[in-house]
Amino acid sequence: MDILPFKHSKFITAYGAPASGKTHLAKFIIQLYYELGFLQWLNVITGSPDDWEGLPEECIVSNTAECRDRFAKTLEEIKKTNPKRKLENLNDDTDPILWYMRNLLEPFGAQIPGMPGVLVLDDLSGDYNFKEKEFVKLFTRYRHYCKRQKTDKEGLMTVVLLSHYAKLITPVVRQAITDCAVFAQTGDDSVKAIFAAIGSYDFGNTKEWTKYLNANTDMEARKFIWFSKKAAPGWPAWQPVICPELPPLSNIFAPQEEEEQPLDKKRKRQDEDTEDVKDPKRPC
């Protein structure tokens, strides 16, 4: 798949029926970005936190009382360290997801230039209207987040949007898409919506698109179609792909073990060390 981050932000969407493999693909992208050194931070906005076992709590953003309490503590810490920064207060009626997007997401991306990261939006289209200003702002301005220098035209934040409600794709999302994964579909409305969003680029009608889609997707095998608007040289725009197995996400965030050394070198190092060795900094 042509999903390597290289030097530009990406807006990746994945559409498919429940349990078709969308979340698995998102985890694969996170693992790939981590291995390539493009994962300095990670946030997953989700209505199903249990699907993201292995991620530290601070990486998860959800509409739960636990997340609201965590953000309340974050708010108090920011007030102490940066009292001039204006943030909205939190109360029992505050939606933690929208509060995060208004108060932490853009300031976070803007204040830490050159820190590439991934933002996952996990099946939110059934609960949130993507025409709301928080989402429109994200979809239209994501390329400006995490800039390396003030003169850079693009930043280094990649957005991964997962949804099984393809018919709720908005025109803004259609314009923002750089890459799209299409998994097995169970409804004609979704097939038509995806054709309108990306299939019409290369397929003459919904009949041709449906035939190609059915021949190249398989829910049990996690087989899907990968589409790139601007595929790199040598990469086709459309590719049937089977998402590989991957290690647990917890491996990314586990403290790294020290490499074994010959006994004499190890003893010498122990004699020279005067401070405790801290765990390397992890994403989030």
Of the chain, the percentage scoring pLDDT greater than 70 comes to 79
Stretch (H or E) spanning 259:
none
pLDDT in tens, 170-198: 888 888 888 999 999 888 888 998 998 88
- DSSP, residue by residue, 64-107: SHHHHHHHHHHHHHHHHH-TTS------TT--HHHHHIIIIIHH
pLDDT in tens, 5-29: 455 678 999 999 888 889 999 998 8
> Which pLDDT score is estimated for 208?
94
Return d(Cα 39, Cα 264) in angstroms, integer: 36
The mean pLDDT value for 202-227 works out to 92
117-147 in b/e form (b: 16+ CB < 10 A) is: bbbbbbbbbeebebeeebbbebbeebbbbbb
The separation between CA 202 and the C-alpha centre of its own chain, rounded to angstroms, equals 27
> Which pLDDT score is estimated for 97?
94
Give yes or no for a contact between 44 and 252, defined as CB atoms under 8 angstroms apart: no
pTM score, whole prediction: 0.83
Helices (H), 151-222: 171-176, 188-197, 206-215
pLDDT in tens, 107-154: 665 555 567 789 999 988 778 888 889 999 888 888 777 666 555 556
Nearest to 42 by CA among 148, 115, 138: 115
User: Would you say residue 220 has pLDDT above 70?
Assistant: yes
